[in-house]
Structure 1
Amino acid sequence: QLRGTGSAIDASLPYASSLCGACYEVCPVAIDIPEVLVRLRERVAEGGPAVRQGNRVLLRPAKGHAAERAAMRAARWTFGRPGALRAGQRLASRTRRLHPRTLPGPGRAWSGARDLPAVPAEPFRDWWQRTRGGQEGTR
């Protein structure tokens, strides 16, 4: 933290924690380390003014991996259009038998050690409408 988040190695350090809070529980001077790490992650992600080796500098926002950026842009577009989200959910549930058990390409390493979650038989919106939609006072 003393060096800032200007270099690639320094920018990666706030992500080297699970933020479980165990460090805060054992800290003898009650420093909220998870909160500090969240703020550092925010600085890395958003960029902005910072002090590096005693000099004021302007950090560029972290770019991340190209595939991750593309996925986040697609998610932003989809979540910003409820009709597109609804159509995507219905399409995914209707084609669930065609979904692979492992991911192709770079995702193969991730899915080699984990199972992909199964696509539900019906979208959440349909399930909610069928089970609780229209019921007054249900929480």
Structure 2
Amino acid sequence: MKIIVLAICTPIIFTGCASVMNDSSHPMKVETKTADGQLVAGAECKLTNDYGSITVKSGDTTQVRRSSKDLDITCVQPQNPEAKARAISRANSGMWGNIIIGGGIGAIIDHNKGTAYTYPTWVQLVYGKTLVFDRTSEKEGQPALGLEPTKTN
């Protein structure tokens, strides 16, 4: 009898696992660099996803609203050409916990809320370039690697 009760209650307890484990936002440090690698602080950077836009000065850390959609970033400063980037949204451990332990209901809830996803935590945009950042390339204490998007015909 105990096993049956446990089997029924476990999915209910873990429903919305990422919602419980993760806030709806997470920190992201945004920096800008010149083509020769010199950091430039103070550029006006706009970060946009399906939940809206926020503005931050380059060199600062801001709270970014989690979403299943990618985050577009544009930084402008009068002395430099525009710097653009896309931060890829990736499922985090809360989503996998939902799928393994809690089942589909929790995964659907967290997907719809965006709490099951995370962006890179540190990006360095380069003036005059458009880069793509993916947190799968992040290493502890270092910015995510920015790659130029590949062109398709």
Point out the structure with the larger helix share.
1
Q: Which has the larger radius of gyration?
A: 1
Q: TM-score range by the shorter chain?
A: under 0.3
Point out the structure with the larger strand share.
2
